[in-house]
Amino acid sequence: MDAIGFYEDDEGICCDITLESFVDVPVQVVNLETYEIDGKFITDVEYLRNNQREMNSKVNEAISEYIKRKYHSDTVDFKLVKVYAFHDEKSIYGLVFTWDGDSEHGVGVKVDNTDVIKVGPAEVSFT
């Protein structure tokens, strides 16, 4: 794995990685409410990199369905802006997306490995 620059912010220990399947710029990955680099977070970052293609496919489909159902819109131009990992939950990730149709709340997705378990406003990704 490429060298990762870890840093701390108000949500926890973080790093920026590029997940090309989602977006072509680095996105922040946060180990929520944890301020130490541990083996689990490194494993989580590796998992995201190695499984991003499958995760992207499932997440895109789930968000598109959510937007159509909730907003009755076919506008599905959304962009990944942040990923949460959870120190106390194995293989659970929260993804936050911006979406022009709801610029205030965005869209949040919770996944277990690569399977989508919940889609909703951004808060879904970290609760």
pLDDT digits (tens, 9 = 90+) for 83-118: 999 999 989 999 999 988 877 889 999 999 999 999
Residue 105 is predicted with a pLDDT of: 82
Distance (Å, rounded) from C-alpha 26 to C-alpha 18? 4
Residue 76 lies in a domain: yes
Total domains in the chain come to 1
Distance (Å, rounded) from C-alpha 89 to C-alpha 30? 14
Q: What are phi and psi of 73, to 5 degrees?
A: -130, 145
Distance (Å, rounded) from C-alpha 77 to C-alpha 115? 21
- The model's pLDDT over 19-48, given as tens digits with 9 standing for 90+, comes to 999 999 999 999 999 998 999 999 999 999
- The model's pLDDT over 40-62, given as tens digits with 9 standing for 90+, comes to 999 999 999 999 999 999 999 99
Residue-number span of the structural domain to which 50 is assigned: 6-126
Residue 1 lies in a domain: no
Residue 78 lies in a domain: yes
Reported as a pLDDT band with limits 50, 70 and 90, residue 2 is: low
Residue 54 lies in a domain: yes
Distance (Å, rounded) from C-alpha 122 to C-alpha 95? 8
Reported as a pLDDT band with limits 50, 70 and 90, residue 77 is: confident
Residue closest to 112 by CA, chosen among 96, 82, 89: 89
